[in-house]
Chains A and B, each alone.
Chain A
Amino acid sequence: MTEAGPKLFYGNYLNKNVFSRNTDKNGLRFKKWKIYTMDRNEKLVLGKYEFNSRFILGSGKYSLDLIKAAVENAGAEIITLALRRAVSGVDSILDYIPKGVKLLPNTSGARNADEAVRIARLSREVCESDMVKIEIMRDSKYLLPDNYETIKATEILAKEGFVVMPYMYPDLNVARDLYNAGAASVMPLAAPIGSNKGICTKDFIRILIDEIDLPIIVDAGIGRPSQACEAMEMGASAVMANTAIATAGDVPAMAESFKKAVEAGRTAYMTGMGRVLEKGADPSSPLTGFLED
């Protein structure tokens, strides 16, 4: 596979989303390197779909009648929903999601790859969407994703033609495996889901951003707009948030705030941020000042 090969590095000018990926006659994926200069209007590419918005909104934990306003204020083009809520009877969440927004059903409730695959297949029918966010948890306390099972489910579903977006614990080897398994993006967690703690896994997400040629979408644990902005400044392709918005005093207003934060962070990343010094100023007499000849 290609990603073991040399990595082209263009600093801030490297835009992950512009690599088109193809399959050779053996079914292996390879990259066609296309190096672009800066394009601030670059779209978020997820499999065969393209989006302008880089903020993915969750639909859980808040009243259904607020979803429409939240989507509009967030400018969201993708909304996640748990399939298990879409089959919930009288008040189906599907009836509350505005038309034109892409549904990203998740497999929450799955405890292993097999269950995730079954839920994903059902979600394709119920939600009429071939996008799926893999969530596999076998820990009811921390709800941390099971990376191993996630890779297995990704491989099966990608082969079946799904646009697979796996939620994962940020691990470089796993991210590579997900890439090889055919994932359309990688969704590393920032902190335990629902914790609103911010980007606790920052250094590890940064490694994924640097190394993995797929959109890196920071998911889970983002509690404030400033943290969403930070993720985007780092070069994340998109941010996904739910609890932070769901538990806000004014859900639609907080959705808007996140939208602006994500845009601000994206612009900062795309323009190439100025250098930020860790400590104090540069010494006025540089250490190399003695050099003469």
Chain B
Amino acid sequence: MSEHINESILNDEIKEHLKENRVNHMEYFSDMERIPHDIMDTVVRAMEEYDYDKYTGQDVLRALDKDILFPEDFAALLSPAAIPYLEEMAKKAQIETRKHFGNSVYMFTPLYIANYCENYCIYCGFNCHNRIKRAKLDAKGIETEMKAIAKTGLKEILLLTGESRKMSDVEYIGMACKIARKYFNVVGLEVYPMNSDEYRYLHESGADYVTVFQETYNSNKYETLHLAGHKRIFPYRVNSQERALMGGMRGVGFAALLGLDDFRKDAFATGMHAYLIQKKYPHAEIAFSCPRLRPIINNDKINPMDVHEPQLLQVICAYRLFMPFASITISTRECERVRNNLINIAATKISAGVSVGIGEHSENEENKGDEQFEIDDTRSVKEVYDAILERGLQPVMSDYIYV
């Protein structure tokens, strides 16, 4: 497996840091809960054995002919041999999406409540060495932001923090969940991985969905991209979704950051991870996100290398056909044209009115912090809502009940 790093990420400072000795990324810190590694081991082995060049057009057609796909079919759909069949894949993905979701498109917005981070992920704008303006909203600030968002009609919110246990501890996140429950039906979390008892606390505080981006499932590559912090510990991150379900969460989200490593292998591992989790926890609701690398503050050159739009569509359609019941979110990292079309094919969830900085939903918030990455689609909730309607689709603010 190539250990080559996407050149667009690197700068001189990072190159210097890469020469230093680093802690073993496979060894847990003492405060980290250990659970069995059966799923992680299987995912990693499947990914390592995945030889996408061996698949042919016939394999792709066979997969497209099936009602229920197995990992081998998913592997074929992610292979280069599937690119000529992209139109067929998209057509079948659209049919499957309609069968499971009708014409519903779910809307939500992320709310960044803090951007302090202890990790050193060299591609991320929040990393602890990146010189950006840091901020953390207090209870009043969170409430003000949520009120402003709720006014737009949204009923689902995704709470994000930078990954700093010190600056954004579990109780702080729990407080944000409790405030969020007052204004929203659905509360999701995209915060640092934690232990199952902490997930349980946040579930009891009102959150029901946990998304953890694995970024890459290639642990050797992972190690060269995440140089310090909790996030550096690969197995603790991979097992986050399982711990979240053990803590009582209803659904979990998966993603590889496409462009960091070999995207076909990473997408395959992401699907396998979700597949195995669903097998072990059949009640779990499964979600995928499909982020591609984006420019950040202090590095506007970062790009997703070989993951162009056709490849992005291929990955999304493969997820849809492999797990037709899964929610697929399309990021504001993508432009309006791509997002508008993807919700008509396979994506079922779209963010709107997005800010990836701190305190930007309300005018009066003085404690503002910088963004995690550059967003592309800056449309408001109303604009996205209307765009969904224009396509004959149905914007849905929530289809969920907290029990």
B-contacting residues of A (Cβ < 8 Å)?
Answer: 60-64, 82-85, 87-91, 109-111, 115, 118-119, 122, 137-141, 143, 194-196, 243, 246-247
Contact = CB atoms under 8 A, between A and B. Distances in A.
Nearest to B392: A63
A99 B393 CA distance: 25
A83 to B, nearest CB: 6
B99 A140 contact: no
Interface stretch (B34-42, B263-271, B336-344, B395-403): B395-403
Interface of B is mostly: loop
Nearest to A92: B397
A61 B96 CA distance: 13
A60 to B, nearest CB: 6
Given A138-B283, A194-B99, 13 more contacts: A63-B394, A84-B400, A85-B399, A88-B398, A89-B397, A115-B403, A119-B403, A138-B282, A140-B278, A195-B99, A243-B102, A246-B103, A247-B102
Contacts of A137: 283
Contacts of A247: 98-99, 102
A195 B67 CA distance: 10
Contact of A109 (B282, B323, B403): B403
20 contacts: A61-B101, A61-B103, A62-B394, A63-B392, A84-B401, A87-B401, A88-B397, A89-B153, A89-B398, A90-B153, A90-B397, A91-B396, A109-B400, A110-B403, A111-B283, A122-B401, A137-B283, A140-B285, A194-B100, A247-B99
Contacts of A196: 99
Contacts of A195: 99
A215 B184 CA distance: 39
Interface residues of B, number: 30
Contact of A246 (B102, B393, B395, B401): B102
Nearest to B275: A141
B93 interface: no
Could you say which of A122, A139, A194 has the most chain B C-beta atoms within 10 Å of its C-beta? A194
B155 A141 contact: no
Interface in B372-403: 392-401, 403
A247 B392 CA distance: 12
B299 interface: no
B403 A89 contact: no
B284 interface: yes
Could you say which of B104, B325, B397, B403 has the most chain A C-beta atoms within 10 Å of its C-beta? B403
A60 B98 CA distance: 11
B102 A62 contact: yes
A88 B185 contact: yes
Contacts of B396: 85, 88, 91
B8 to A, nearest CB: 37
Given A88-B396, A89-B153, A139 B282 contact: yes
B325 A84 contact: no
A84 B278 contact: no
B102 A61 contact: yes
B108 to A, nearest CB: 12
B272 interface: no
Contacts of A139: 282-283
